[in-house]
Structures are given as structure tokens and as C-alpha cells.
Chains A and B, each alone.
Chain A
Amino acid sequence: MDWPFLFATAKTLLTGVPLTLRLAATSLCAGFALAVGIAALAGSRFAPARWLAALYVMLFQGTPLLVQIFIVYYGFGQIDFLRASFAWPFLQQAYWCAILALSLNTSAYGAEIIRGAVAAVPPREIEAARAMGMSGLLLRRRIIWPQALQYGLANYGNEAILLLKATSLASVITLMDVTGLAYRLVSKTYRSEEIFTVAGLIYLALTFVIATGVHLLERRLTPCRRV
């Protein structure tokens, strides 16, 4: 085994980790904010709002992320009003295109997780709070959201891991993340097996860190289920 080459490869690929993490973290945050909005629409009393949320989730869950990235990166430039809008300086950059596509995509899955977590809060416990005079924001802040957080955390951690791995698709629109750097290195050296193995190990290490973090957070937030 060519250890010096593997180390040199790892050193090169590790320079892509900050971009990979930035893509994942930014999309996770923006996606979560969007997901909360979509979940709120999905739980609305107003039927058209629920339809809109269902359509949104269906569109983004029903099409491949790669296609979504292509639509944003190649497609948006052909729409005149987008080229004339304030968003154009961002949409011209592959980085922001990737962020946009990843955020929209993860928000659809996130909205489903949030909806499920809120629905999992026992209705009787909500009723007990109502019987005490709680309603509106107080009821949500004190009873519903804290419990939904416990129910949804593990699933959202999963989504974060999926998202981190999905950032590798950003390499197809010229971004030099871990995968992008690996691909460039392969085209120079033709040693694809070793290089992609190193890339895979880097992703494995990153997802391990995230999974451990989520697990610790879960333990901290759910003392009641640690009997």
C-alpha cells in the first residue's frame, strides 16, 4: 500500500472539509427555518395552506436532489426576471445555488419530521394543559414544542447526516468540496480507488461526529426516557 500517497491525498481532501461543512451547516439552518414554516402551513386550519405544504413536500421529496441542483444552477439563469432580481448576484455563484437547492430539499424532509414530532405529543397531555387554562403560544412553548423536540431530535439528526452526505452532489456544479477535490485528483492521477476510499473515510468520520453529537444532545434533552 502506498502510504505516502494516501497521506498526501488525505491532506488535499481535508482542505475541502470546511466547504463541505459550510454547505451542510448553512443548508441545515436555512432548511430548518423553512421546515418550521412548511410544518406550520401543514398544520394550519386553512385547507389551501395545507395543500400548499403537501405540494411543496411532494415536489422536493419526489424529484432527485441532483435534478434540483441542476434546475437551480442551469435553469434559473434562463429566467429573465430572476436575472433582473436582487437574487441574481447570489444565483450566479455555484455555492449559493448549492445552498439553495440543498436547503429547499432538506426543508421538505424536515417539515415532515417536525409535523410527525408535533403529532406525536400525547393529546391527553395537551388537554391537561388546556384544562389548566393554557392555550396559544404558552401551550406550545411549555408543553408541545419541548416534547416535539424530544420526539423529533433523532430523526432530525438522521436528516443532518443525509444532508452532509448530499453535499457531495454540489461537486457536480464545480464546487471543490471533499468530493470535488477527490474527483479532480482522480482526473490527474487516475488512482480512483484509493482517492475515493479516502474521501469516503472522511465522510464517515464527519457523520460519526454528527451522530455522536446528536446522541449526546438526545440524552441531555430526554432525561425522562432514561429511566
Chain B
Amino acid sequence: MEPIQSATGALSASPVISATGLTKRYGALHVLRGVDLDAHEGEVISILGASGSGKSTFLRCLNLLEVPSGGTLNVLGEDVRFRMKGAERQIADARQVNRLRSQVGMVFQNFCLWSHRTVLQNVMEGPVHVQGRNRHEVREEAEKALDRVGLLNRADYYPSQLSGGQQQRVAIARAIVMRPRVLLFDEPTSALDPELVGEVLKVMQDLAAEGRTMLIVTHEMAFARDVSSRVVFLEKGTVRVQGTPQDLFKGGMDERFDRFVSHFSRQG
């Protein structure tokens, strides 16, 4: 595969995340059948696919919420170490995984804010307790992040007092105060009421414009087309086709992808 030009215009030497031949199976069920993907600095990659195509599983493998059954995974220049226990592959070095996870931000479909902590506490939790940074500095940065997602005035609210869109924006603020090298989004707008989708996509678009490296599993075709630098289409656990959104959405590159897109625009 030829190197992909990043959004900032520079060709980065080594990918931020590199997966080679990644497989995942649950018993007899093969969810991933060998996925290759390199994500370079500054790329915004939309991962599309029908449900069951393995796109969420793939994303979750990248920060080891799922342990890939086979293949190699390199995150931030480190090969993730595995060991075999019987027929199952396990994480070999939990500290390595924790270290990598603290530099890979994750935003979930269901926000997953900690319900017993306020908005501000949610955002400060990681930097203070995982990264051990100074509480006062973190507080300033957390307030800046909340301001950025438009929720500084909700800093002392609890998650249950916020709308879904607001919760998801807090979750994004929680991810970025960790100063991650890459952000993973797992269907960040799929659990939202239609009128709340826009506010979350707006924040994500801002982050993309900053030159952040992002991998986004999504069903938002317009977002994938207009914001991402690369689109990856998964089908049955493999990469069916990938390319720039311009090339792919023009049509005619892959019949299955075209049908997938037209299906969504019909619904849309």
C-alpha cells in the first residue's frame, strides 16, 4: 500500500496505529478475517460498513478492549505484546496496554460517563489519576476543553442531568484532556436523537480541522464524505475497499460500497 498523505500535508515516517492481518473470532464466529490498516499522523479515517461487518470490533481491538485473535498491532510505534494461554491470545504486558490506552482517546456510542462524578470531575479524572498531572493545571485545561465543547456552564452537573448530545460532548472533552495522540470514535452519534447529532459532529469536525488523528466508526455518510481524509469500507471482517472520500463517493469504484451508500441516502 502506498503511503497516504496526511491532512497536514506532511508524510509522517511511521504510522500512529498500524494493524496487520488483524483477526478476531468468538468461538466459531469470525468477526475479523484479517484487517490491514495504517493510520498516519493527522489522518481522519472514517470506517464504514454494515452492521456485523466488524467495524466496531476492529476499533475496539486498536486499544485492546478486544484482544485480537491473530495479526500484529503497532500503536504509537510499539508492538503490542501478546501471549498464548491455551488456544486464546492474551495481553502479555498489562502495563504496556495501560500506557498506550492513556494516549489513545476513546469515545463510545453510549457516552459512558461516570455517573457518580460531575462533568468537571469526569473530565479531570484521567489526567489527575491516570497520568498523575497537577490538579490545578488539569482543572484549567479541563475547563478549556469544556468551554470548547460549549459545556463549561454545566461543569457541576451530573451526567444524568444532561442530554445525550451534551453527554457525548463531555465524553469528547474527557478524551482530549488526556492529550491523546489519536482519537477513536465508536459510532459516536448512533445513540443520539436526530436533532442532537449535529452538535456532536460539529465538535468532531473542529477536532479534525486541528489536524488531530482520528478513526471514526460511523453511519454518518455526509460526515465521512466531507470531513474525513480517508474512507475504509469493511465487509465481512475484511477491508473491501478504501480511498479518499472524493474517489469513493463519486461512485463506480466498488459496487458493494455504492449500494451501501445509496441504501443510506435512501433512508436519509
| Interface, chain A (partner B; CB < 8 A) | 122, 124-125, 127-135, 138, 142-143, 146-147, 150, 222-225, 227
A residues within 8 A CB of B114? 125, 128-129, 143, 147
Q: A124-B112, A129-B114, A131-B63 are in contact. Are A225 and B160 (CB under 8 A)?
A: yes
Give chain A nearest CB distance to B144 CB in angstroms. Answer: 19
Q: A147-B116, A150-B116, A224-B116 are in contact. Are A133 and B130 (CB under 8 A)?
A: yes
A132 to B113, CA, bound (A): 12
Contacts between chains A and B (CB distance < 8 A), count: 70
Give A146's nearest chain B residue, CB to CB: B116
Of the A-B pairs whose beta carbons lie under 8 Å apart in the complex, a sample of 23, sorted by A's number, is A122-B112, A125-B112, A125-B114, A127-B65, A127-B108, A127-B112, A128-B108, A128-B112, A128-B113, A129-B114, A131-B63, A131-B101, A131-B106, A131-B108, A132-B102, A132-B106, A133-B98, A134-B129, A138-B129, A146-B116, A224-B158, A224-B159, A227-B158
Which residue from A124, A130, A131, A142 sits with its C-beta under 8 Å from B125? Answer: A142
Closest A-B pairs by Cβ, 9 of them: A133-B102, A128-B112, A224-B158, A131-B106, A133-B101, A133-B98, A124-B112, A132-B126, A133-B130
Q: A124-B112, A125-B115 are in contact. Are A132 and B178 (CB under 8 A)?
A: yes
Q: B161 near A: Cβ within 8 Å?
A: yes
Give A133's nearest chain B residue, CB to CB: B102
Q: B94 near A: Cβ within 8 Å?
A: yes
B residues within 8 A CB of A225? 160
8 Å CB interface, B82-137 against A? 94, 98-102, 104, 106, 108, 110, 112-118, 125-126, 129-130
Judge whether A135 and B94 touch: CB under 8 Å.
Answer: yes
A138 to B126, CA, bound (A): 11
B residues within 8 A CB of A138? 129-130
A residues within 8 A CB of B101? 130-133
Give chain B nearest CB distance to A223 CB in angstroms. Answer: 7
Give A151's nearest chain B residue, CB to CB: B116
Interface size class of B (residues with CB under 8 A): 20 to 34
B residues within 8 A CB of A132? 101-102, 106, 125-126, 130, 178
A150 to B160, CA, bound (A): 15
A130 to B104, CA, bound (A): 11
Judge whether B98 and A124 touch: CB under 8 Å.
Answer: no
B residues within 8 A CB of A146? 116
Judge whether A130 and B130 touch: CB under 8 Å.
Answer: no
A142 to B99, CA, bound (A): 18
Give chain A nearest CB distance to B16 CB in angstroms. Answer: 17
Give A150's nearest chain B residue, CB to CB: B116
A residues within 8 A CB of B102? 132-133
A residues within 8 A CB of B118? 224
Judge whether A224 and B125 touch: CB under 8 Å.
Answer: no
Which residue from A122, A131, A134 sits with its C-beta under 8 Å from B115? Answer: A122
Judge whether A133 and B94 touch: CB under 8 Å.
Answer: no
Among B63, B113, B116, B178, max chain A CB count under 10 A is at: B116
Give A148's nearest chain B residue, CB to CB: B116
A222 to B104, CA, bound (A): 31
Give chain A nearest CB distance to B135 CB in angstroms. Answer: 14
A134 to B115, CA, bound (A): 17
Give chain B nearest CB distance to A19 CB in angstroms. Answer: 38
B residues within 8 A CB of A125? 112-115
A residues within 8 A CB of B115? 122, 125, 147, 224
A79 to B65, CA, bound (A): 53
Judge whether A131 and B65 touch: CB under 8 Å.
Answer: yes
Judge whether B112 and A130 touch: CB under 8 Å.
Answer: no
Give chain B nearest CB distance to A109 CB in angstroms. Answer: 24
Give A124's nearest chain B residue, CB to CB: B112
Give B103's nearest chain A residue, CB to CB: A133
Q: A129-B114, A132-B126 are in contact. Are A227 and B161 (CB under 8 A)?
A: yes
Judge whether B110 and A124 touch: CB under 8 Å.
Answer: yes
Among B98, B110, B159, max chain A CB count under 10 A is at: B98
Q: A124-B110, A125-B114, A135-B94 are in contact. Are A130 and B160 (CB under 8 A)?
A: no
A135 to B102, CA, bound (A): 11
Give chain A nearest CB distance to B143 CB in angstroms. Answer: 19
A222 to B126, CA, bound (A): 22
A residues within 8 A CB of B106? 128, 131-132
